[in-house]
Amino acid sequence: MSFSSKVKEELSRQLSRARHCQIAEIAAIISLCGRIQISEYDRFCIKIHTENAAVARKYFTLLQKTFNINTDVSIRQGMGVRRNRVYTVGIRRHQDALRVLRAAKLIGHHGEIEENLSLAQNVVILQNCCRRAFIRGAFLAAGSISDPEKFYHFEIACAAKAKAIQLQSLISSFDLDARIVQRKKYYVVYIKEGSQIVDILNVMEATVSLMELENIRILKEMRGSVNRKVNCETANIHKTVSAAVRQVEDIITIRDKIGFDGLPENLKEIARLRLERPEATLKELGEALDPPVGKSGVNHRLRKLGSLAEKLRDGGSGTEA
């Protein structure tokens, strides 16, 4: 089961105690994956279509608990490439459909369906708990979360821009940075930052999935931190080794061309020590001198030897040392 499916399975088993929150969640599900059929006699019928059994089960339960409505449930094989099962939950009785639409504020005072099934009034989502329920219902109906082991991405697809803006505003009310992008015929409300996806799971009250995501984030951050330290240490080792090899080559050039006898005592001492200990760090070389010398002092002497070797390679006598 994918991580997204696990989140939906957890949310599908969560039922708000307050009726107003149940209505807000129903409103979101109908708004995002619902269809309203109107007969020639102006009789309403509501249907929601979903490929997720958990969503169908949640919607069925909400309608039964909130309105005590009997619904029709059907399953058919999809026609697409994946041929997934499609679950349909329908409210066929006109009076039942009307009750639900009015409670969810998806219908106007004069019985007109709001454009794109957007909320006619914000009264459904005035309270903080109802906004949580609406976002939860929207995610169940048309949302997904990527596998956090690979990357972080949370999204809810909306059929209309106005609906996406409304959903973005609701998510932003929890101090979350939700953005909108158009993808083919849909307007997608998305969040990409890991910590903010943790927060949106908290908003939807998916506590088990939240903890799983947090554990994955902690492990990924630890691995990233270790990798950065290893890379840094590897780079430092490579730099140190390259410098030591270059210093040894410079000293050998000096020895072979003019010898050490004409060098000042401090340069002669560090040259012989570097040849004896090519793997030593500057600090270790400095501690081996008598008297000991700091890293900057050792580096200064080796740089003077490097300059001398360069002059000798260019044909100079090196007597300036």
Please state, in angstroms and as integers, the Cα–Cα distance from residue 217 to each residue in 145, 168, 191, 193, 288, following that order. 14, 25, 16, 11, 47
Asked if residue 180 lies in contact with residue 189, where contact means CB atoms within 8 angstroms, the answer is: yes
Q: Contact, 174 vs 199, CB < 8 A?
A: yes
Confidence of residue 171 (pLDDT cuts 50, 70, 90): very high
Q: In the predicted model, what is the mean pLDDT of residues 195-208?
A: 95
In the block, which residue shows the tokens 């260019």?
A: 314
Of 183, 225, 220, 182, the residue nearest 198 (C-alpha): 220
Hey, what's the torsion of the CAs at 38, 22, 159, 46, to 10 degrees? -20
Answer yes or no: is pLDDT of 117 > 60.
Answer: no
CB 8 within 8 A of CB 52: yes
Distance between CA 33 and CA 41 in Å, rounded? 24
Give CA 246 to chain center in angstroms: 45
Please give the biggest Cα pair distance in the chain: 113
Are 118 and 102 a contacting pair, CB within 8 Å?
A: no
Q: Residue 75 pLDDT more than 70?
A: yes
Tokens at residue 65, please? 């608990």
Least confident of 76-80, 227-231, 302-306: 76-80
Least Cα distance to 91 among 79, 102, 78, 77 occurs for: 102
Give every CB contact of residue 289 below 8 A, 6+ residues apart in sequence: 269, 270, 273, 298
pTM for the whole thing? Answer: 0.71
| CA distance linking residue 64 with residue 69, whole number of Å | 5
Given a cut of 80, whether residue 80 has pLDDT beyond it is no
Q: Is the pLDDT of residue 116 over 90?
A: no
Model pLDDT, residue 109? 66
